[in-house]
A and B are shown apart, each in its own frame.
Chain A
Amino acid sequence: MSQAAVAGREEFGPALPIQVAAMARLSITRLIRQPAAVVPTLIFPLFLLAVNAGGLSAATDIPGFPTDSYLTFAIGFTFIQSGIFSTMMAGQGLAQDIENGFFSRLVLTPMRQTALLSGQLAGLVLLGQFQALFYLAVGLAAGAHFEAGIGGYFVLAGLISIISVGFGGVGLIMAIRTGSGEAVQGMFPIMFVLLFFSSMALPRDLIQQDWYRFVATINPVSYLIEAIRSLFITGWDGEALALGFGVAIVLAITSITLAARSLKGRMLK
């Protein structure tokens, strides 16, 4: 399909908000109908949180550790971990559409790229909000402190939304470029490496190994974790929040831009 044909095709059909709503409904319905895919993304981060909170509580005795509750320290990691799972879910959903031919049929409709991408991400943002509320409730029930209070919850929800879009965009890029659900799943270990080689387990200044501290410092995931962590431990830490929001916004803009370019290329095929 030529570029002119794509542009011409988009002039017809329903208005953009209607298209976005239709794709969002599809994305959300898919999530609701796949509890087997959604539930593990909720439970697995909580399991790791529980194991780490119990197993690493002795770390709070290290001089300079910022809190006396390892649960409070570690819960920020849980939100980011679920964000990484979102990458896989977004990619898996679109890759499935490409594999079973649904995407090809969508391309033949007047659906705009913007609607396709934003609709795919809508379900993830909703899931992200649900996870944020769920993890916060479980964390507070288990004894974590949330220093930022009610206002902090809205900041947390906003940051989670941007992170969901950012990681979801990465998943969409992988799905569009490979067109294979198996290939998207194969990227999971790489995403996990990003997660583990960060400041997830200890504050960066307490990491003793120089090479590891360097990797954690250049790893953008560290700043996302630290922004969320600051809401739990210090309340309102402007620097941590600015860095976290900055990284999340850059990630979201970059991934969506690249996803849009990749999508255009696939539609032209």
Chain B
Amino acid sequence: MSRVYFSSAWAVAWRYLHNLYTKPAVFLPSLLFPLFFLAAFAGGLSAVGDAPGFGYYDFTAFQFCFVLIQASALAGVFAGFSIAADFEQGMGRRMMLATTHRSAIVLGFAIGAASRLIVTWVVITGVALIGGMGVAGGPVNLAGMYSLALLANVAALLFSSGIALRFRSLQAGPLMQMPVFIILFLAPVYVPQDLLSGWIEPAASVNPVTALLNAARSLMAGEPTGVLGAFAVAAGLIVVMGIWSIRGLRRAETAG
């Protein structure tokens, strides 16, 4: 049973990646957008790194951590778009008929979304290094940072798949993208959390992305802080979003 299950998931993942890499119009924007944000934030705002109390060793590295989490989460959202497109075009129903355990479909898209991250990570990391980013963390720290980004990807994929399976239409695209975009920007994007002021300060303090971002930045700096808490938050998000996604799958099954 498990062999058939994973075989189905691999087939869905392979199809997703094949479609992705044979359509530059779909793949390129998801690759270029993080680069654009990296250039705009790290280039245009570098003077912010000199603000009193900023205290991070490298402004490009500071922004890189945000872009890494953002790109990873949005890659999960884009996979949700593909699920919605498949159901809109009738492919989703065929996949549901062809799999014995339908959660293999979501698993397949999750594997595909995680696999596409490798290219995204290589490109944005390469561009950041060429742009002069300093890396203070060791290999274990960096592995932890990329693991957090992977978990953000899984959580975003499960969230967007829940929406996609409920609406089964690309028209639900903004419902997948906007909440993720908003929650990302309600974290300490430009300055450390201590320097936030006004309404965004309490918003950031209860935002789960803040824990991920702070931990990723601390790992990048080689001074891990709050890492276990961040992994716990990410795991909690994945559990909640997993339930949301599976319930969406049940809705799709009921709808036929």
A residues sitting closer than 8 Å to B (CB atoms) are 47-48, 50-59, 61-62, 189, 192-193, 196-197, 200-202, 206-209, 211-212, 216
Which residue of chain A has its CB nearest to the CB of B48? Answer: A59
Distance A54 CA – B105 CA, assembled complex (angstroms):
41
A-B contact pairs, 30 of them (CB 8 A): A47-B182, A47-B185, A50-B199, A51-B185, A51-B186, A54-B199, A55-B188, A55-B196, A57-B197, A57-B198, A58-B48, A58-B53, A59-B45, A59-B48, A59-B51, A61-B51, A62-B48, A62-B51, A189-B33, A189-B36, A197-B39, A197-B44, A200-B44, A202-B45, A202-B48, A206-B47, A207-B44, A209-B44, A211-B43, A212-B44
Docked complex Cα distance between A197 and B51 (Å): 21
Partner of A54, one of B29, B43, B52, B198: B198
Among all A-B residue pairs, the 10 with the closest Cβ atoms = A54-B200, A212-B43, A196-B40, A58-B195, A58-B51, A54-B198, A55-B190, A209-B43, A208-B46, A57-B197
With A50-B200, A51-B200 as contacts: A207 and B47 at CB distance below 8 Å:
yes
Query: Known: A47-B182, A207-B44, A209-B43. Is A54-B196 also a contact (CB below 8 A)?
Result: yes
Number of interface residues of B (CB under 8 A): 32
| B201 on interface, CB distance cutoff 8 Å | yes
Bound Cα distance from A197 to B46, whole angstroms: 13
Q: Taking the nearest CB of chain B, how far is it from the CB of A57, in angstroms?
A: 5
Residues of A within 8 A of B40 (CB): 196-197
Instruction: Report whether over half of chain B's contact residues are helix, strand or loop; otherwise say mixed.
Output: helix
Task: Beyond the given A54-B199, A209-B43, A209-B44, please list 17 additional residue pairs across the A-B interface where CB-CB is below 8 A.
Answer: A50-B199, A54-B200, A55-B185, A55-B190, A55-B196, A56-B45, A56-B48, A56-B191, A57-B198, A58-B197, A59-B45, A61-B52, A62-B47, A189-B36, A192-B36, A196-B36, A197-B40
